[in-house]
Structure 1
Amino acid sequence: MDHRLLDIRQAITRHARDGLTATALPGLSVLRTTRTTQPTGDVLEPAFALVAGGVKHTVLNGEVHRYGTGEYLVATVDLPVVGSIVAADENEPFMAVALALNPGRIASLLLDTGGPGGPSGAHSPSAFGVGHASPQLLDALARLLALLDHPADVAALGAGIEREILWRLLNGPQGATIRQIGLADSRLAHLTRAIRWVRDHYDQPLRVADLAAIAAMSPSSFHRHFLALTSMTPLEYQKQLRLNEARMRLLTGRHDVASVGFSVGYASPSQFSREYRRMFGTPPSQTV
């Protein structure tokens, strides 16, 4: 195993409690667990996350993405997904480190450097990607985690190392879409406004024409770029938000199936049960 990956694993072991743990570095979290998990609905927010041990599955609109030790994911907009840790035990825990992607810091880096590559072109790059971490990326991430052992150095050195990580990502396979995070008038910025509206109003009726107006696009252009970015239509995106929220409410055990379906925007209990089973593999009554 790469010695830089070993350093990352050791730092996670020192600083992670069982489960997701925020650190003293803003936007940086670590995760360590010895247990696999059942598929759980979640909304990925813009972030970079590296797996340092074990294996995880993330399902985005029915497509399974598998990534393990030395691999990372990047999400550049809020994405409803279903995730599960599929390989973890006492001998080989699942370990990961996540860094939020800050638009202001990306913008500053692009302003100072001009950024890699040229214009994004006519098509929206995907908002989700999985790749292998380069030695340079692992090295920068190991040095960032090492600052947790020296709190007095965080203020002086943390921003510079985070900047280096962002630069490595901008020059990686997901660089084109990460670049758009830092551009205030990019297509991604316009689509993000519409995505946030859907997330905040997932239980309300949705009209593509209204979302297109929020994104300052024609309906046909909005629909095309939304699909390219998220791999789903606006209605599919809304449905997955609804089902993820429904699962969370059912897991609390405080609501019956019909009332949960209505509360997230379903008018038909049978449709709710059918789509819930299709997404999670079990009926909502079994979740309760």
Structure 2
Amino acid sequence: MYLEELRTLLARHARPDWTTAIDGVLISMVDRSDPPAPSMSGTMLAVIAQGAKRLALGDRVYEYGPGQYLVASVDLPVTGQFTQAEPKQPALGFALVLEPSAVAELLLQAGPGDSPRPGGGTPPGIAVSDASAPLLDAVVRLLRLLDEPRDRAVLAPLVKREILWRLITGEQGATVRQLGLADSSLSHVSRAVRWIREHYAQPFRVEDVAGLSGMSVSAFYRNFQAVTAMSPIQFQKQIRLQEARLLLATHPGDVTGVGHRVGYDNPSQFSREYRRQFGAPPSQDAARLRHSVRTPAGVLP
């Protein structure tokens, strides 16, 4: 019942840039299955109403289809692909950006017995579940407000809070809950992720990043791997290669310069690792990028 109306609303309000009149709400409508493409996940909820999606994070693969949702609680380097999308039946998706401050506010307002208890261990940075009827109902009501501009400014923030609460109290509540806790293991890992992203071209010692995160080295390794499915050095390499690919799209003739800019002093190592990641050496991939129009395929929905 909810999915049928959800598909109708998404198809009606989809724009080429995926934005909507509601801040933090995105809609995708994709009519072809492109090859897997790298991107950053962002922190968000993504719900599929039609079609299917595959997302890879390190050695973990997540697949979700109609009536399922994906939560990303850390901004991670992923590879995404719409696996079911065609002109007659495009993939349709909804996404809501998750703000840690909004999650924290809800947790503070909830009574001690209302908020879910923290689970054991560090939750993964990405998780997939079936969407409950109350969650789908709230998503549909939020999208209906796109047709009701008079009510939108007042009601949209309230419905977005409801969606957050449905997530916090749902199957992936532990992941979403940690997004709003300043001293959670996920927040410590997020601190390290941000630092590596901002300094990806610089060499670093894991001990130093562990210290910045407020963890011992052993706890840092364990929690970082749990959240990102990668070691810190593997994570840095993913960021470097993604940034290199973006730079090559605009500087296709300067492969050596791009490699040096993202932190590779050895051009052969850069070319070798780039080819392993993207299936072609940098110069060939740059030419391919110039002649193709790709559909964004990260977590966005």
8 A contact 1:194–1:215 mirrored in 2: yes
Once the two structures are superposed, the pairs formed by residues 17-28 of structure 1 within 5 Å of their partners are: 17-18=15-16, 20-28=17-25
> Residue 258 of structure 1 aligns with which residue?
256
Q: Deviations over 1:225-277 (max 9, x none)?
A: 11111111111111111111112222335443222222111122222222222
- In structure 2, how many angstroms separate the alpha carbons of the residues matched to 1:64 and 1:189? 23
> Residue 134 of structure 1 aligns with which residue?
132
> Residue 187 of structure 1 aligns with which residue?
185
Q: Deviations over 1:163-197 (max 9, x none)?
A: 22112111222210210111122222222121111
> In the TM superposition, what is the alpha-carbon distance from 1:219 to its structure 2 partner?
1.4
> Residue 82 of structure 2 aligns with which residue?
85
> In the TM superposition, what is the alpha-carbon distance from 1:161 to its structure 2 partner?
1.1
Question: Which has the higher relative contact order, 1 or 2, with Cα contacts under 8 A spaced 6 or more apart?
Answer: 2
> Residue 165 of structure 2 aligns with which residue?
167
> Residue 40 of structure 1 aligns with which residue?
37
**TM-score (structure 2 length as normaliser):** 0.89
- In structure 2, how many angstroms separate the alpha carbons of the residues matched to 1:239 and 1:24? 37
- In structure 1, how many angstroms separate the alpha carbons of the residues matched to 2:207 and 2:65? 40
Unaligned runs of 5+ in 2: 287-301
8 A contact 1:58–1:81 mirrored in 2: yes
Q: Deviations over 1:87-118 (max 9, x none)?
A: 21111101111101111211121112245322
Unaligned runs of 5+ in 1: none
> Residue 201 of structure 2 aligns with which residue?
203
- In structure 2, how many angstroms separate the alpha carbons of the residues matched to 1:106 and 1:22? 22
> Residue 30 of structure 1 aligns with which residue?
27
> In the TM superposition, what is the alpha-carbon distance from 1:125 to its structure 2 partner?
0.8
8 A contact 1:273–1:283 mirrored in 2: yes
> In the TM superposition, what is the alpha-carbon distance from 1:129 to its structure 2 partner?
0.7
> In the TM superposition, what is the alpha-carbon distance from 1:61 to its structure 2 partner?
0.8
**2:279 matched to 1:281?**
yes
Gap change, CA 1:87 and 1:262, over 3 Å in 2: same
CA RMSD of aligned residues (A): 1.6
Q: State how many pairs are aligned.
A: 284
- In structure 2, how many angstroms separate the alpha carbons of the residues matched to 1:202 and 1:263? 10
> Residue 118 of structure 1 aligns with which residue?
117
Amino acid in the other structure paired with 2:153: A
SS of the residue aligned with 1:21? Answer: coil
Gap change, CA 1:33 and 1:119, over 3 Å in 2: closer
Amino acid in the other structure paired with 1:87: Q
8 A contact 2:116–2:168 mirrored in 1: no
Q: Deviations over 1:126-183 (max 9, x none)?
A: 1111111112211110001110110111122112211221121112222102101111
